[in-house]
Amino acid sequence: MSGLRADIEFRRPDFTLRAEFEVAPGEVLAVLGPNGAGKSTLLSVLAGQLVPHRGRVELDGASWLDTDRGINVPTHRRGVGLLAQNALLFPNLTALENVAFGPRAAGVRKAEAREIAVHWLSEVDVSGLAARKPGRLSGGQAQRVALARALAANPQLLLLDEPLAALDVDAAPAMRGLLHQVLRRQEKPTVLVTHDVLDAVVLADQLLVLLDGCVVEQGPTREVLARPKEAFTARVAGLNLVPGVAAADGISFGDGAISGRLVEALEQGESAAAVFAPSAVAVHRERPNGSPRNAIPVRLAALEPRGDVVRVRGVARNCSLAADVTPAAVADLRLTPDDEVWFVVKAAEVAIHPTSGGSSGA
């Protein structure tokens, strides 16, 4: 089979990681989980830096690791491209020389390695910085060069380890948008470790949630996040996420629509999601008349006290949604599970993100 297949069991005295997954060529798998869940351990096993007690890792049918057969291909022969939190560029080389380094190390002639580097610097939108050394690059620019360097080596497998975590709030969205563009053109499998659910929404086709070394959720990103089974996933998701397809000023979602702010340019019909916070949602018994706000029909599932507010959970066309309202509002509206209500949210509070994957989910 082509793509990545892994079945791993890694033990430490107080910790065991068990995970089994496949990532098809061109697909992105996001691994999400709290501190200590085992995300870095999993990446290190894929990269060959840690050897598990039991396991198999295969890429395009070639075995990288098979503990039963005593196979363990060393890191430098796995063809893994790694983008870490920090760019880790060679300080004495220019951006261009940093990117050309991988091809040169693989025996490509100087002029050709330079051409490859020029191509990848342009793919990540930093052609103008080719002659600069890392000391004169911003964090976001350095991370783009590091991405170009990882891709220029023509890796069999791309590993992204919290690639946006060290960027400031201005640089992270731009880099996320760039990764979205670059990864959708990739033909190799990618594994992305992240704390940020938005990275999974925008970049990943598949999502694997780890808790204490165990896989607690696994499946298409939008399905897992729209219908989280685990409280942890619902909490990290923390945001309402409605999968659909891009429409004029938002998404269409079944026979309804949700308007919002486009985070990136989107073509109509492209797969997209509307993302908004539970605190932005008001709950109404009747559909508000003549209001420009979004109104989504919801069947209530549960009411959970959370500090000063009550989290009202409901389901709209198979998608779990949450609203945070005051206890007084819950009492006024006499909300109880199974009620049919309207979740109302202003378009200005809704972000429309492109999402990975071909299926519309609408």
Ligand X SMILES: Nc1ncnc2c1ncn2[C@@H]1O[C@H](COP(=O)(O)OP(=O)(O)OP(=O)(O)O)[C@@H](O)[C@H]1O
Report the nearest approach of ligand X to the CB of residue 44 (Å): 8
Binding range to ligand X, per CB under 6 A, among 32-40, 113-121, 142-150, 283-291: 32-40
- 3-class DSSP state of 195: coil
- Does 36 contact ligand X by CB under 6 A? yes
Q: In the structure, how many helices (H) and strands (E) does the chain have?
A: 9, 22
- Does 37 contact ligand X by CB under 6 A? yes
Q: Name which of 15 and 90 has its Cβ closer to ligand X.
A: 15
What CA–CA distances, in Å, run from 110 to 95, 245, 274?
15, 45, 47
Residue 69 class from Cβ within 10 Å (0-12 exposed, 13-18 middle, 19+ buried)? exposed
Helices of type H across the chain: 39-47, 95-105, 110-123, 139-152, 171-185, 197-203, 221-226, 231-237, 327-333
Binding range to ligand X, per CB under 6 A, among 28-36, 52-60, 143-151, 270-278: 28-36
Binding range to ligand X, per CB under 6 A, among 31-39, 119-127, 247-255, 330-338: 31-39
Q: How many whole angstroms separate alpha carbon 335 and alpha carbon 283? A: 9
- Does 53 contact ligand X by CB under 6 A? no
E strand or H helix at 302: strand 294-306
Q: Name which of 59 and 210 has its Cβ closer to ligand X.
A: 210
- Does 35 contact ligand X by CB under 6 A? yes
Report the nearest approach of ligand X to the CB of residue 225 (Å): 19
- Does 233 contact ligand X by CB under 6 A? no
- Does 41 contact ligand X by CB under 6 A? yes
For 150, residues 6+ apart whose C-beta sits below 8 A from its C-beta are 81, 82, 83, 102, 158
Q: Name which of 178 and 215 has its Cβ closer to ligand X.
A: 215
Q: How many whole angstroms separate alpha carbon 336 and alpha carbon 340? A: 9
Q: How many whole angstroms separate alpha carbon 255 and alpha carbon 291? A: 19
Binding range to ligand X, per CB under 6 A, among 34-42, 184-192, 333-341, 345-353: 34-42
Report the nearest approach of ligand X to the CB of residue 164 (Å): 14
Question: Of 83-112, which residues contact ligand X (CB under 6 A)?
Answer: none
- Does 39 contact ligand X by CB under 6 A? yes
Strand order in the sheet with 319-325: 282-284, 340-345, 294-306, 309-316, 319-325
Residue 333 class from Cβ within 10 Å (0-12 exposed, 13-18 middle, 19+ buried)? middle
Token digits for 167? Answer: 């960027």
- Does 15 contact ligand X by CB under 6 A? yes
Using CB under 6 A, count the residues that bind ligand X. Answer: 10
Report the nearest approach of ligand X to the CB of residue 57 (Å): 16
Q: Name which of 127 and 218 has its Cβ closer to ligand X.
A: 218
Among 12, 261, 285, 299, binds ligand X (CB under 6 A): 12
Report the nearest approach of ligand X to the CB of residue 357 (Å): 24
Among 16, 40, 127, 156, binds ligand X (CB under 6 A): 40
Please state, as a whole number, how many other Cβ atoms lie within 10 Å of the Cβ of residue 265: 9
Report the nearest approach of ligand X to the CB of residue 204 (Å): 16
Q: Which residue has the tokens 């052609």?
A: 127
Using CB under 6 A, list all residues that contact ligand X: 12, 15, 33, 35-41
